[in-house]
Amino acid sequence: MSAPENPDVRLTALVRGTVQGVGYRYFALSQARALGLRGYARNRRDGAVEVVAEGARQRLEKLLVALRRGPSAAKVTAVVASWSPAEPSSFSAFTIRR
Catalytic: which of 6, 10, 25, 45?
25
Quick check: 1 and 19 in contact, CB under 8 A? no
Catalytic: which of 6, 10, 43, 69?
43
Backbone torsion region of residue 61, taken as left when φ is above 0, otherwise alpha when ψ lies between -120 and 50, otherwise beta: alpha
Backbone torsion region of residue 19, taken as left when φ is above 0, otherwise alpha when ψ lies between -120 and 50, otherwise beta: alpha
43 flagged as catalytic: yes
Would you please indicate which residues are annotated as catalytic (active-site) residues?
25, 43
